[in-house]
Amino acid sequence: MANEVALLSPGSHSASDVEAAAGDAQAFRAQLRGRGDLLELRVAGDGTCDIRPVADGSPSSCPAFLAGLLRLGSGPPPQISATDIIGATASGCELVIWHAPLQGKAAAQQEKPSRRLCRTPPLVLESPQLAEQAVKLLRSTCCCWGSAQRPPRLLIIVNPASGPGKAPAIYEREVRPALEAAGCHLDMHVTKAAGHATELMLQVAAGSVDAVVALGGDGTMHEALQGLLTRQDWEATRQLPLAQIPCGSGNALAASVGMWNVHTALHAIIKGQQRPLDIASVVQHERRCFSFLSVSYGLITNLDIGTEHLRWMGGNRFVVGALQQIMLKRRHTARVALLDLDPAVIGEAGLLAAAAADAVGSSSSNPNSTPRTSGAGSAASAEGLRAAASLQGPPVQHLAAFQALSQGRLPSGGWQWLPDADVALFTATNLPRLDMNFHLAPMAAPDSGCFDLIYTTPTSRMEGLKFMTDSEKGQHMSHPRVRHRRVAAMALEPQSTGTWLVVDGEVVPFKQLFMEVHPSLCNAVVAPTVR
């Protein structure tokens, strides 16, 4: 196939080839590389791109496979919708349009609508200047970063130890080319060890980035968040949109905001739609961390931390871990006090109902009838909590309540003891999904103002298996052993051995823990709502 392409007929579309055509559309004349067909590329004001053979009375001679790629043929002009276009690149006179169409059925009919990156065959424009002009136009209309007039500057953290360890390769092969085609400015760092993502966020110059993108799992995002919220200028950096390109094992953030795979995440990042993200302060003796995802005790920590050696399996390690936990039928004791987001909704009646249900189905004692002395050695001291609360970052609102709870006293103002002392699964989560296939909290939303506490009282193996299969689609909430509370703040004192306390998938000291939710403290990039 000849690579030399005759330039388009002189005069008809020289300097004004980018013409202000009808309405606000701009039109370019182009050819497919190596072919004589004359095409018109029309970019509408909303960024929708029409490609059609220039009507000269003769049928298009595009070979079928190229016509198929561009969807050229008879009938209305083929369109690449503005929603799908993520960028464009030029090399000399050649223009390539990058787009990410939805795969399969209409998005509304799919549980997990996902996209696949595609590129048009090279379209040859009259001059490199015109190709550059088309690139600029396509990027500015389709890469939506609010009203920013310059390309977004992305700080990218690549964790080579997340999941099956493919993040660096995925960055080079998929992520970098697409983000460059979108015109983003990339500042990429590969983490060298645990904790490096936190350091990177502490070191980044104020005002030098527009968003943080993590190629890794939830641990990578958790580390980045610690850096962002412990900077002196945390009130500014907390607003940076956070995006996860799923390369880890769980990838709860990506799964919960519709970024089902790498390409879908790239499309979302380029489109730049955001949603507020609640964050919880987790306070322990002289220590504080921040959680965007979950605070867990019992079953989920066992299946997560207990399967570290199966990391090579990617997300499948959690299935293996869950089966193991169900077979072992483990139960864990904890003393928990919580402040409901909206006590009026659940209130005393809800508490009593939960206690009554538990009295029928389990041997756990109601902590309301037992003395409140702290468990040996695990309770926090008032001074330690004060020290933790005075660390850099958003102020802790419930310090006085935490101090009272550390001494075994229930604070006033809506705090309640949880009636169930024995639990199997116990997870307070900010997000609906803990991984791509675990829809633990279907009612949860990143900006609900609370963490949704889901816990189960001890179950039989059969019930456990049913819970596991139903939770894939979020259909487990009506199970008799499942409890739900909307938590604004919580105190948890672990009283069993053989399990962990885990925040966002990371193990924290096995000591009394307090958490409170800071509504909408941060922002997450989310998959654009699809019409």
Ligand X SMILES: Nc1ncnc2c1ncn2[C@@H]1O[C@H](COP(=O)(O)OP(=O)(O)OP(=O)(O)O)[C@@H](O)[C@H]1O
Which residues make up the interface to ligand X (CB under 6 A)?
Answer: 159-163, 191-194, 196, 216-220, 223, 248-251, 505-506
Q: For the chain, what is the total number of helices (H) and then of strands (E)? A: 15, 25
Least separation in angstroms between residue 505's CB and ligand X is 4
* Torsion-angle region of 165 (φ positive above 0: left; ψ -120 to 50: alpha; else: beta): left
For ligand X, the closer of residues 117 and 215 by Cβ is: 215
Least separation in angstroms between residue 29's CB and ligand X is 48
Q: Which of 506, 461, 116, 467 is nearest to 301 (CA)?
A: 506
For residue 219, count other CB atoms closer than 10 A to its CB. Answer: 21
Using a 10 angstrom Cβ sphere, with 0-12 exposed, 13-18 middle and 19 or more buried, the burial of residue 313 is: middle
For ligand X, the closer of residues 159 and 403 by Cβ is: 159
Least separation in angstroms between residue 477's CB and ligand X is 23
Least separation in angstroms between residue 304's CB and ligand X is 7
Least separation in angstroms between residue 156's CB and ligand X is 14
For ligand X, the closer of residues 249 and 274 by Cβ is: 249
For ligand X, the closer of residues 25 and 305 by Cβ is: 305
Least separation in angstroms between residue 152's CB and ligand X is 23
For ligand X, the closer of residues 200 and 389 by Cβ is: 200
For ligand X, the closer of residues 236 and 507 by Cβ is: 507
Least separation in angstroms between residue 416's CB and ligand X is 32
Contacts of 141 (CB under 8 A, 6+ apart): 43, 45, 46, 47, 82, 85
For ligand X, the closer of residues 175 and 418 by Cβ is: 175
φ and ψ at 317, to 5 degrees?
A: -65, -30
Least separation in angstroms between residue 362's CB and ligand X is 30
CA distance 384 to 253: 31
For ligand X, the closer of residues 193 and 360 by Cβ is: 193
CA distance 364 to 358: 7
First and final C-alpha spacing in the chain: 41
Q: Which two tokens stand for residue 306?
A: 């207990």
For ligand X, the closer of residues 313 and 465 by Cβ is: 313
Helix H segments across 364-436? 382-389, 399-406
Q: What is the CA radius of gyration of the chain?
A: 27
58 strand-pairing partners: none
Q: Which two tokens stand for residue 448?
A: 């609900």
For ligand X, the closer of residues 217 and 227 by Cβ is: 217
For residue 225, count other CB atoms closer than 10 A to its CB. Answer: 27
Least separation in angstroms between residue 158's CB and ligand X is 9
Q: Which amino acid is at 324?
A: Q
Residues in the chain: 531
Interior angle at CA 406, CA 404 and CA 409, nearest 5: 45
The tokens 């935490």 sit on which residue? 402
Q: Which amino acid is at 253?
A: L
* Torsion-angle region of 347 (φ positive above 0: left; ψ -120 to 50: alpha; else: beta): left
189 strand-pairing partners: 157
Least separation in angstroms between residue 313's CB and ligand X is 10
Least separation in angstroms between residue 484's CB and ligand X is 24
Least separation in angstroms between residue 317's CB and ligand X is 9
For ligand X, the closer of residues 141 and 162 by Cβ is: 162
For ligand X, the closer of residues 239 and 316 by Cβ is: 316
Q: Helix or strand or coil: residue 467?
A: helix
Q: Helix or strand or coil: residue 50?
A: strand
The tokens 């965007």 sit on which residue? 292
